[in-house]
Amino acid sequence: MSSTAQSVTVIGLGPMGQAMAAAYLDRGYRVTLWNRTPSRADALVERGATLAETPEQAISANELVVLSLIDYDAMYGVLDRAKDAVTGRVFVNLSSDTPEKARAGARWVTELGGTHLTGGVLSPPPLIGTPDASTFYSGPRDAYDKHRAALEVITGTSDYRGEDPGLAALMYQLNMVIFWPAMIAYWQAVAVAAAHGITAAEIAPYAAENFAGMGHFIDFYAPRIDAGNHAGDVDRTSMGLASMEHVVHTAADAGVDTAFPEAVREIFRRVVDAGHGADSFSRAVEVMRKGASTTTV
């Protein structure tokens, strides 16, 4: 094991893993790499990183091991080949998966003699290594505190959520619940615009303004939802349903796929069918909490 604190192993060299390894090299760390496809390490090796031939060699090189893999199954696939090297290492698992998968993975690593920190990176590869990037972490506090400086090399902000290894994964997934549908909504708008000869660049300023304005709605509705207040004094679900009908028809008239807006319309329709058309569309929270098969709230 390397004796210097300025050293790290990075396993997984997709765009995120490559960005993380590059950030460590930029800060003068000694970086050891392993990837199933070795050629992905070529540019990093040219910059001074060391490419290990096996996962065991990579893990043995340093106490701190950053995993940037597609999911926890991939973690098992790698560490199964290097069980003898796990003892004494701290694995910062930045792979995306469910809170329960994170908890199970943490138990497994602990049983092998290692330490597992769950991470959820909220920034894309181009922002890695900058102060604007952020990551949720959870797991053993002493391990987080010991390696916090190294973790903040890859994302300037680290948000520790507690000892439960599932919490960082949960916070990450909550953000993905927002991010992916929001971006699909934007792609939907781009597709409808294109059908009318309007470019993505032309609607970009309006889309950005729309997203920026969402903060106002979140700040307004959050305390009301927590208080169970879904009064229709500001908006009504029946109005939202009518609006989504117009969105669906606009897309259909343009010859654009309507699957996404139809799914949103269905949420509004379920709230109305449950007798809450006069309530705020925040009432949808209660409908979704009770499951898709529920017809009353």
pLDDT tens, residue by residue, 217-272: 999 999 999 999 999 999 999 999 999 999 999 999 999 999 999 999 999 999 99
91 within domain boundaries: yes
Q: Does 141 share its domain with 59?
A: yes
95 within domain boundaries: yes
238 within domain boundaries: yes
In the chain, % of residues over pLDDT 70: 96
**In the predicted model, is pLDDT for residue 3 greater than 70?**
no
Q: Does 197 share its domain with 85?
A: no
CA end-to-end span of the chain: 58
Q: Report the domain count for the chain.
A: 2
Q: Does 217 share its domain with 84?
A: no
Q: Does 133 share its domain with 213?
A: no
CATH number of the domain enclosing 85? 3.40.50.720
- Beta-carbon contacts of 59 under 8 Å, excluding residues fewer than 6 positions away, are 9, 11, 65, 79, 82, 85, 86, 89
2 within domain boundaries: no
Q: Does 52 share its domain with 111?
A: yes
Q: Residue 290's pLDDT is what?
A: 83
Q: Does 31 share its domain with 70?
A: yes
Query: Which of 143, 162, 181 is at the close of a domain?
Result: 162
- Over residues 156-199, the pLDDT tens digits come to 999 999 999 999 999 999 999 999 999 999 999 999 999 999 99
**In the predicted model, is pLDDT for residue 296 greater than 70?**
no
Q: Does 155 share its domain with 176?
A: no
Q: Does 200 share its domain with 154?
A: no
**In the predicted model, is pLDDT for residue 99 greater than 70?**
yes
Query: Which of 162, 190, 215 is at the close of a domain?
Result: 162
Q: Does 155 share its domain with 19?
A: yes
In the chain, % of residues over pLDDT 90: 95
CATH number of the domain enclosing 276? 1.10.1040.10
Q: Does 49 share its domain with 119?
A: yes
40 within domain boundaries: yes
- Over residues 24-53, the pLDDT tens digits come to 999 999 999 999 999 999 999 999 999 999
Q: Does 124 share its domain with 22?
A: yes
Query: Which of 133, 162, 191 is at the close of a domain?
Result: 162
Alpha-carbon gap, residue 99 to 49, rounded angstroms: 32
Q: Does 128 share its domain with 103?
A: yes
Residue with tokens 């929270």: 285
296 within domain boundaries: no
CB 93 within 8 A of CB 73: no
Average pLDDT, the chain: 95
200 within domain boundaries: yes
Q: Which domain holds residue 45?
A: 7-162
Q: Residue 4's pLDDT is what?
A: 45
297 within domain boundaries: no
Q: Residue 149's pLDDT is what?
A: 96
- Over residues 10-19, the pLDDT tens digits come to 999 999 999 9
Q: Residue 5's pLDDT is what?
A: 55
